[in-house]
């Protein structure tokens, strides 16, 4: 089994990675703005703090001689920590701005770091393009960066006026405006229900279709204000959530085919891992976490059983050993310092 290097033995027996590496540059200062981090180089584009950093390092155990893929590179926080630990890292991101930012930020690690552009669902082809067939670990952190939310031109947030876009990769695909202005009412209703778990999905879809006939939706605030006019804020604690929150989440998932990409990635990942290699997945909402949980559970069972069978049968999809029976969540310190970590869940499996 991999991950037995002596200098990492202390980790996991009462000592976190951050505690065992107090001088590592991946330890972020307390004064860093909530959910964002600044590069130490000339580029000042903010990205979120890497969530569950200690936990990722404890499970991945990066070290010299290992090749790891960070398939959602983002601002490069997780990758920087793994590079500082001695591993070589291939960082992949479909967002051109994130890719450029991380590539510039991590230039000091050029000999050990390879930034690549693409979606993690295409990981086998992406790695094959640089002559890599097998790796020792894969990480994906499925979330929208704080910078993407804050950047009005990306169209993810209803808090600032911007084009109704929401594409992670702006070089291809339909925008949120395309979906809102052209999809049939039934398809919009399905998107709102299934991806946003929006109870008022039927009413919202109907009213959106009625309104777009007179005036198409083009900006984030136009759509958000329209939804708020139909469905005012609730009273009590629920009123803190903007009425458009679930619709915007649903549209983002649909625009980027996030669940389809995750499903494809999970089906491909084991083919890319060496025996003992670990797959780490961080999710931020129930739809993604449910998919990962069910996939990991099935793929880590040696046998499967059904009521109509006389006895259990060998599982042809048995590929992993489960490393986390329950999702790993943020500790009190991280919850206090980084509110974004509140909904983060980490699940881990190891290739047999």
DSSP 92-142: EES-HHHHHHHHHHTGGGTTTEEEEES-GGGHHHHHHTTT---EEEEEEE-
pLDDT tens-place string over residues 210-226:
999 999 999 999 999 99
For residues 26 and 161, the model is more confident at: 161
Residue 40 scores a pLDDT above 70: no
Helix (H, G, I), strand (E, B) or coil at 152: helix
What pLDDT was estimated at residue 51?
A: 95
Query: Do the strands 88-93 and 67-70 form a parallel or antiparallel pair, or are they unpaired?
Result: parallel
Structural domains in the chain?
A: 6-147+258-351 (3.40.50.150), 170-255 (1.10.150.170)
**CA-to-CA distance for 98 and 115, rounded, in angstroms?**
10
Residue 42 scores a pLDDT above 70: no
Query: Do the strands 320-322 and 345-351 form a parallel or antiparallel pair, or are they unpaired?
Result: antiparallel
Please give the share of the chain, as a percent, with pLDDT higher than 90.
75
Band (pLDDT 50/70/90 cuts) for residue 143 is: confident
CB neighbourhood size of 289 (10 A):
20
Residue 258 scores a pLDDT above 60: yes
Mean pLDDT of the chain, nearest integer: 87
Residue 327 structure tokens: 């999702």
The per-residue b/e assignment along 165-181, b for 16 or more CB within 10 angstroms, e otherwise, is bbbbebeeeebbbebbb
**Which residues does 161 contact at the CB level (< 8 Å), separation at least 6?**
152, 219, 220, 221
Band (pLDDT 50/70/90 cuts) for residue 151 is: confident
What pLDDT was estimated at residue 221?
A: 96
Residue 205 scores a pLDDT above 70: yes
**CA-to-CA distance for 61 and 59, rounded, in angstroms?**
6
What pLDDT was estimated at residue 293?
A: 98
Lowest mean pLDDT among 104-108, 149-153, 347-351: 149-153
**Which residues does 211 contact at the CB level (< 8 Å), separation at least 6?**
217, 226
| Residue 193 and residue 203 in contact, taking contact as beta carbons nearer than 8 Å | no
Residue 222 structure tokens: 């136009």
What pLDDT was estimated at residue 13?
A: 35
What pLDDT was estimated at residue 200?
A: 95
Helix (H, G, I), strand (E, B) or coil at 324: coil
Residue 317 structure tokens: 């999809």
Residue 126 scores a pLDDT above 90: yes
Residue 139 structure tokens: 């990480």
Helix (H, G, I), strand (E, B) or coil at 274: strand
**Predicted model pTM:** 0.84
For residues 240 and 217, the model is more confident at: 217
Which residues are 15's β-sheet partners? 11
What pLDDT was estimated at residue 48?
A: 60
Tell me the mean pLDDT in the region 158-179.
93
Tell me the mean pLDDT in the region 10-34.
37
Band (pLDDT 50/70/90 cuts) for residue 238 is: low
DSSP, residue by residue, 173-208: S--HHHHHHHS-HHHHHHHHHHHH--TTHHHHHHHH
Please give the share of the chain, as a percent, with pLDDT higher than 70.
85
Residue 36 scores a pLDDT above 50: no
pLDDT tens-place string over residues 60-94:
999 999 999 999 999 999 999 999 999 999 999 99
CB neighbourhood size of 3 (10 A):
19
Residue 167 scores a pLDDT above 50: yes
Q: Phi and psi (nearest 5°) for 181?
A: -90, -10
For residues 239 and 172, the model is more confident at: 172
């Amino acid at each position: 089994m991999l991950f037995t290097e002596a200098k990492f033995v202390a980790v996991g027996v009462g000592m976190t990675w951050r505690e065992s590496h107090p001088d590592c540059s991946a330890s972020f200062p307390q004064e860093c703005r909530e959910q964002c981090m600044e590069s130490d180089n000339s580029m000042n584009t903010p990205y979120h703090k890497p969530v569950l950093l200690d936990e990722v390092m404890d499970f991945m155990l990066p070290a010299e001689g290992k090749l790891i893929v960070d398939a959602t590179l983002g601002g490069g926080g997780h990758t920087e920590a793994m590079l500082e630990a001695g591993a070589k890292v291939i960082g992949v991101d479909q967002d051109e701005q994130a890719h450029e930012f991380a590539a510039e930020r991590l230039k000091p690690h050029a000999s050990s770091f390879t930034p690549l552009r693409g979606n993690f669902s295409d990981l086998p082809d992406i790695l094959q393009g640089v002559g890599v067939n097998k790796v020792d670990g894969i990480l994906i952190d499925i979330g929208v960066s704080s910078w993407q939310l804050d950047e009005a031109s990306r169209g993810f947030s209803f808090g600032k006026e911007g084009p109704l876009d929401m594409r992670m990769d702006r070089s291809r695909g339909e925008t949120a405006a395309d979906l809102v202005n052209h999809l049939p009412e039934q398809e919009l209703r399905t998107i709102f229900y299934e991806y946003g778990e929006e109870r008022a999905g039927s009413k919202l879809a109907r009213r959106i279709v009625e309104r777009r006939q007179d005036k198409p939706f083009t900006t984030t605030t136009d759509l958000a204000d329209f939804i708020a006019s139909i469905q005012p804020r609730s009273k009590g604690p629920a009123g803190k959530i903007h009425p458009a929150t679930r619709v915007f989440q649903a549209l983002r998932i649909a625009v980027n085919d996030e669940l389809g990409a995750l499903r494809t990635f999970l089906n491909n990942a084991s083919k890319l891992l060496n025996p003992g290699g670990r797959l780490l997945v961080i999710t931020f909402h129930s739809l993604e976490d449910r998919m990962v949980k069910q996939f990991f559970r099935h793929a880590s069972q040696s046998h499967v059983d059904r009521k109509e069978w006389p006895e259990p049968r060998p599982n042809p999809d048995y590929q992993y050993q489960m490393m986390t029976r329950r999702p790993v969540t943020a500790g009190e310190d991280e919850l206090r310092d980084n509110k974004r970590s509140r909904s983060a869940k980490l699940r881990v499996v190891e290739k047999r």
